[in-house]
Amino acid sequence: MPKTFRCCIAGGGPAGMMLGLLLARAGVEVAVLEKHADFLRDFRGDTIHPSTLEVMHELGLLEAFLRLPHQEVRRLTGQVGDVPITLADFGCLPTRCRFIAMMPQWDFLNFLAEQASRYPTFHLHMQVEVTGVLEEAGGVAGVRVTTPHGPEEIRADLLIAADGRSSTVREQAGLRPRELGAPMDVLWFRLSRRPTDPEETTGRFDRGHIFIRINRGEHWQCGYVIPKGAAETVRQRGLDRFRAELATVMPFAADRVGELREWEAVKLLSVQVNRLAQWYRPGLLCIGDAAHAMSPIGGVGINLAIQDAVAAANLLVEPLRVGRPAPDDLRRVQRRRDLPTRIIQGLQVLAQRRLIAPALAGTVPLAPSLPVRIMTRVPILRRLPARVIGLGVRPEHVETPAMPLASRG
Ligand SMILES: Cc1cc2nc3c(=O)[nH]c(=O)nc-3n(C[C@H](O)[C@H](O)[C@H](O)COP(=O)(O)OP(=O)(O)OC[C@H]3O[C@@H](n4cnc5c(N)ncnc54)[C@H](O)[C@@H]3O)c2cc1C
């Protein structure tokens, strides 16, 4: 592997792969370092939001992307106690795709890798784990990695930490996120789906628990929201009781809850909501979950990671052409993305306090609150959650140039 790049990205998740593609497409020498051997992982969210689909369109990739198997979710619905509500209807969005495309994250990442690999300046190195950062007088100068052939050092004018919410780079660089807190964790698992099942992707709020089911065609991706730290208690109560609870919230699938044969099939997402006060140091920029872990409310983590990548590329391609971006260039990226992150996290924390925590504690009568009732009844207000979830705040657009592709026929 070459030892020097203009830009080195730690982490091949949505943020890292999108930024890698955008930089390579603009002719910048970029290496993405991913510790896993492939993109096949446990479920980590399969949501590709309208704003990401808009980015794919701007890259000229939308048609090819939508040829991959996916489902299209046009409305998010919920049920509070016995009252059904529409949480978001994407039909009103001013975008080409008025739906969330549900696609396995590994298909999405493989697609980005394939597209990026068409550019000679793109270098994807799998099974390369970043273990430390190289410090020089002027700031961060690269990374220490382990590879299948042993340890190495890679130098770069700019290091991007896109290595997720437990970012090694962030930690090694001495940046600490501030925790905003979350009252819940989520148990994720799958159950098979039959053609006679309902179609809807929906969330159900009952006293003491919240249950989410996502239609993934052949199967249901299910999320069981529990109070923070309660996973062990749920496990101790036993799998039989867990299955029985599932049968009550998903009665049409009561005959299938036995598919959960052991706790291994149930993955715990320990929810974190946090963000860095400063996303950068000289020679280093954090983006995506490494800069801000999002609550699962609205399923917007992937979306924000992609938006950070687009903004970073827009602001950094020109400085990267001539060398090392200055701290001011990095500050501009944070300035651009900090406000959208704060607003979305603020709304998530509000929803956690007003909806999630009381529902989990079982302390309130279960009915949609007044603001929720008003929001779901007044057409103009109904658009608000669709915009916030589907597009986010201040959606980014691709402004970076595309180098001609030598291999294009
Ligand atoms: C169970 C679960 C369900 C979720 N559901 C949703 C959802 O429905 N919708 C949604 O939008 N978001 C969801 N999320 C959140 C979403 O996965 C993240 O917000 C999003 O993936 C962030 O992208 P990222 O590129 O910043 O980081 P990540 O996706 O975390 O990617 C980081 C990458 O860096 C790699 N890496 C880590 N450390 C190193 C290292 N030291 N060296 C090299 N590589 C490294 C990792 O292997 C990974 O590929 C979910 C998360 C989980 C865990």
**Among the atoms of ligand 1, which is closest to the Cα of residue 33?**
43
Give the global pTM.
0.94
Residues in Cβ contact with 380 at an 8 Å cutoff, skipping those fewer than 6 apart: none
Q: Which candidate, 181, 244, 246, places its Cα nearest to that of 212?
A: 246
Mutation pick for ligand 1 pocket among 47, 163, 348 (CB with most ligand atoms within 8 Å):
163
Q: CA torsion sign, 160 to 407 to 1 to 111?
A: positive
Q: Is 338 in the pocket of ligand 1 (CB under 6 A)?
A: no
In the chain the first and final C-alpha atoms are separated, in Å, by 29
Contact present, 99 and 72 (Cβ < 8 Å): yes
Strand order in the sheet with 71-73: 47-48, 100-102, 71-73
Average pLDDT along the chain: 92
Residue 44 Cα to ligand 1 midpoint, Å, equals 6
pLDDT tens per residue, range 99-128: 999 999 999 999 999 999 999 999 999 999
Give the pLDDT score at 407.
Answer: 56
pLDDT tens per residue, range 165-201: 999 999 999 999 999 999 999 999 999 999 999 988 8
Contact present, 38 and 185 (Cβ < 8 Å): no
Nearest CA to ligand 1 atom 45: 11
Contact present, 109 and 402 (Cβ < 8 Å): no
401 vs 359, residue with greater confidence: 401
Q: Which residue has the tokens 């208690």?
A: 233
Contact present, 102 and 55 (Cβ < 8 Å): no
Average pLDDT rounded to a whole number, residues 254-260: 94
Separation in Å, CA 140 to CA 132, 143, 155, 159, 316: 11, 8, 9, 7, 17
pLDDT at 81 over 80: no
Q: Is 43 in the pocket of ligand 1 (CB under 6 A)?
A: yes
Rounded to whole angstroms, how far apart are CA atoms 20 and 28?
9
Residue 307 Cα to ligand 1 midpoint, Å, equals 14
pLDDT tens per residue, range 206-242: 878 899 999 888 999 999 999 999 999 999 999 999 9
Q: What is the DSSP code (8-state) at residue 405?
A: P
pLDDT at 365 over 60: no
Q: Which candidate, 289, 314, 340, places its Cα nearest to that of 397?
A: 314
Which two three-digit tokens encode residue 164? 């997720």
Q: Using pLDDT thresholds of 50, 70 and 90, give the confidence band for residue 308.
A: very high
Separation in Å, CA 175 to CA 277, 278, 281, 355: 9, 8, 9, 32
Q: CA torsion sign, 348 to 349 to 350 to 352?
A: positive
Q: Using pLDDT thresholds of 50, 70 and 90, give the confidence band for residue 3.
A: confident
Average pLDDT rounded to a whole number, residues 329-336: 98
Give the pLDDT score at 358.
Answer: 84
Give the pLDDT score at 408.
Answer: 46
